[in-house]
Structure 1
Amino acid sequence: MLQKLQFEPSADDGKTGQNHAIPAERDTRLDVYRALCLLTIFVNHVPGQYLEHLTTKNYGFSDSAEAFVLISGLSAGLAYGRKFNIGNRLALTLKIWRRAFTLYVAHIMTSIITLAIFAGGALYFGRQDLIGEINIRPIVDHTEQGLVAMVLLGHQLGYNNILSMYAVVFLLLPGILWLHGRSPFLLFIASAALWLAAGIFTIVPINFLDEGYWFLNPWSWQFLFVIGMICMMRARAGKRLPRHPLLIAVSAGYVTLSLFWVLLSWWSIDFSYGLPAVLTGFDKTFLSLTRLLHVLALAYLLTVFPVFSRMTRLRIDHPLVLIGRHSLPVFIFGTILAMVGQVLLFVTGRDPLWGSLFVLGGIGLHFAYARYLDWIGGLSRPRVAKA
């Protein structure tokens, strides 16, 4: 089942069906960056081992989640931006919403498997305290309400909250595309206003079983997605990002400041001046401005320096390209593997060495699984005749 799912739309999505041939000239840069995000997310989802300290979250305000959503916006602009026109809007809207439903089903599937992994660990190892991990306890204590809440997205397990946010953003995508057709600037203002209002007035989907709310607020994170989509649409229209020394200096300075802020733990410094926390804090749920600017500054630096572009233009069959191209099944695979790793770490006393060995093995399995997905997909892909 997993090999039939796609996380990110491809540039030629919808032209020749799901089993279309992969073009040899495919631009692999987004695939490579997406793969790096997926591998980093997997490493971060097995906390308590050494490799976790090497990921980007330890060297700046943002982490792989922000990078992944920005790449998702870029991919959506590439796949759908030029197709949302009169005569094709209804069909494309239904196609986008079908993808949103796929993401929802994937979220429910991984959540159920996560429950089974932790419940199985509790039974097999005799560790009932596993049920107290990653927000499982409310479902066990209130099973009927918990199952309904999980299906209605009113309860989320820890480390199982990206797909639900992404599904909601995809539900919004037809409206985003329509507004972009009217005015990209108007879309940016509307998206920024929603982001700001969500952060100031705590507009966020709530959880049913407690007084909390979603860990990743879609009304906030849609702004980063929209920024990515607008940038891709501008690029496809032949409008390059400005490569100005001042912008480069400001971006590099902010990234450097973020690096020292995290490494030296300057979190006690208060520079709020009475402004809302969404503008001066470091909250991930509402995507505070500090995090937003950091991922955008990093993305800008990676874009304007040609060396990064050359490094990420790889062969179509490169392992990183395969992971990025099969992002949804690989993400599901990585999530399930990470949940197994969490259980194993828990029952072994959170030994960081064993955890690191598990993560290293898991990274290797990511490459193997992506290779398998490409092989199995190639069996039904039409062969391109050689000249």
Structure 2
Amino acid sequence: MTKLVDKVTPQSARIASIDFWRGVYLLMIYINHVPGNPFSYLTLKNWGFADSAEPFVFVSGFSAMLAFGKYFELGGTGAGLLRTVKRAWQLFCAHVLLVFAMSAIIAFAGDYTDSKPIMEQMNFSPFFVETDTAILRLLKLGYMPNMTDILPLYIVLVFFFPLGWYLARVSSVLVLSVSAAVWLWANISGVSFNNYPEGMTWYFNPLAWQLLFVAGMVTYKERSRLSLLLRSKALLVFSIAMVLFSFLAAAPWTHFESLSSYRIIPPEVLAYDKKESLSWIRVIHFFALAFLAVRLFPAKSMLWNNRVVKIVSICGRHALPVFCVGIALSLIVHIVLQINGAGVLASGLCVLLGAGALIAMAAAFEVSKATLNKVAKPPSAPARG
């Protein structure tokens, strides 16, 4: 595998650290969606307020500037809009196919086990009981079963990108101010997008989560200036303190029965941890984590030449298929474990096998892409004597 990685990894404008961290968060998302597995205790969600969703959205904003910004810069508004609409359409198709695939998995599982609890738990009941209404709402992004929430959020953010890009071009302070105002309004008013059945809202409120997407955009635009902040000892001390406070508030040791009642920080602090509306405490914790990560592993670090890092980075370079297959795979593993009544060891083994399958799939995409690029490359003209 490592030789394969070295052979097919392109030396392009891609940023190695971005691919790696995105790959890590994709694997975390897969792991966290398999219930009862021991590896979930090692992911971000058990060690503080922010989890894998925050860095994933932030990195998406950073990557959007890298991927879409050049179309606006070089090709103008028309080319930029065409590129963003194309990407939004890809995401929409992937989202719809994912929901249909998951419904097929649940329907197939009904022949072997009682799939009704999973159906209800994951909000798939409308898909089977009110199929016409559910499909219509699905196509309007008004119905999202559990675990399918992030792609609709990303679709909205991609559509928002052109406005964000033009505001950022005027001033980074301007686009951040507008974004922060919308985030604050969403948190104070509670306004969000509707989900189905009636009374439900989007799990990731786009009006709030756009803050991290915009922050990622601005970070890319101002990366040279922001690199100076890495020298700040005050920010270093604050970030360490925030990460430590978050760790103590999350109290991961309470997962052990003998320590379940032992807390250093009162649990009332967790009331400020609201994922749907991206509460302020999650934002601060994420930026503290991001600061420490960049400080410890800068862009020129030798870490990015590590073979394991390169393997994980493959997942980051093929984020959409890895995410979709990972979600479907986590559902399959969930059902298999339910049928067999498997314990912690079996669930952990299934997670490892699934993660390996995702990496192998991403590697196959990498090889396929490298092969197609090689075929498409025109042959060099013969030398003339």
TM-score normalised per structure 1? 0.86
Letter in 1 for 2:95: H
Equivalent position of 1:275 in the other structure: none
* Residues in 2 aligned to 1:348 and 1:41: alpha-carbon distance in whole angstroms: 23
Distance 1:153 1:326 in 2: 24
Counterpart residue type for residue 284 of structure 1: K
Measure how far apart 1:132 and its partner are: 2.2
Indicate the SS of the match to 2:110.
helix
Superposition pairs of residues 297-376 of structure 1, within 5 angstroms:
297-306=288-297, 310=301, 312-314=303-305, 318-349=310-341, 351-376=343-368
> Where does 1:32-111 land on structure 2 (aligned, <5 Å)?
32-85=20-73, 88-111=76-99
Evaluate the alpha carbon distance shift between residue 306 and residue 133 of structure 1 in structure 2; reply closer, same or farther with a 3 A threshold.
closer
Provide the rounded CA distance (Å) in 2 between the counterparts of 1:131 and 1:87.
46
Q: Sort the Cα spacing of 1:306 and 1:375 in 2 relative to 1 into closer, same or farther, 3 A.
A: closer
Counterpart in 2 of 1:232? 220
Q: Would the aligned equivalents of 1:302 and 1:309 in 2 still touch at CA under 8 Å?
A: no
Q: CA deviation at 1:47?
A: 1.5
Q: Is the 8 A contact 1:134 1:158 kept in 2?
A: yes
Q: 1:332 is aligned with what amino acid? A: C
Match of 2:371 in 1: 379
* Sequence identity percentage: 30
Mark the CA change 1:339 to 1:216 in structure 2 (over 3 Å): closer, same or farther.
same
Measured in 2, the distance between the counterparts of 1:44 and 1:268 equals 22
Aligned to 1:269: 268
- Contact in 2 for aligned 1:119/1:131 (Cα 8 Å): no
1:154-204 Cα offsets, whole Å, 9 max, x none, are 111111111110110000000100111111111000000011111111121
Question: Aligned partner of 2:283: which letter?
Answer: L
The correspondence of residues 162-201 of structure 1 with structure 2, limited to 5 A, is 162-201=150-189
Task: Tell me the distance in 2 between the aligned counterparts of 1:265 and 1:142.
Answer: 48
The answer (yes or no) to whether the contact 1:154–1:209 under 8 Å persists in 2 is no
Structure 2 CA distance, aligned partners of 1:127 and 1:301? 43
Q: Any unmatched runs of 5+ in structure 1?
A: 1-19, 272-279
1:180-259 correspondence to structure 2 within 5 Å: 180-235=168-223, 240-242=227-229, 243-259=231-247
Q: Secondary structure at the match of 2:203?
A: coil
Q: Does the aligned pair in 1 maintain the 2:249–2:269 contact within 8 Å?
A: no
* Contact 1:29-1:309 at 8 Å conserved across structures: no
- Cα RMSD between the aligned structures? 2.5
SS of equivalent to 2:79 = helix
CA 1:318–1:305 in 2, change beyond 3 Å: closer, same or farther?
Answer: closer
Contact 2:68 2:83 in 1 (8 A): no
AA at the equivalent of 1:256: L
Q: Deviations over 1:77-124 (max 9, x none)?
A: 222335423851211111111101111111111111111111111123
Stretches (4+) displaced over 4 A: 306-309, 383-386
**Paired AA for residue 52 in structure 1:** S
Question: Match of 1:295?
Answer: 286
Give the distance between the partners of 2:297 and 2:319, measured in 1 at CA: 25
Residue from 260, 263, 270 that aligns with 2:248: 260
Return the alpha-carbon distance in structure 2 between the equivalents of residues 295 and 144 of structure 1: 40
Q: Aligned-pair distance for 1:295?
A: 0.9
Q: Partners of 1:217 and 1:95 in 2: how far apart? A: 24
| AA at the equivalent of 1:29 | S
Q: Which has the higher helix share?
A: 2
TM-aligned CA deviation for residue 254 of structure 1 = 0.3
Contact 1:196 1:220 in 2 (8 A): yes
Structure 2 CA distance for partners of 1:47 and 1:300, relative to 1, 3 Å:
same
Letter in 1 for 2:368: I
Name the CA distance, whole Å, in 2 between partners of 1:373 and 1:170.
24
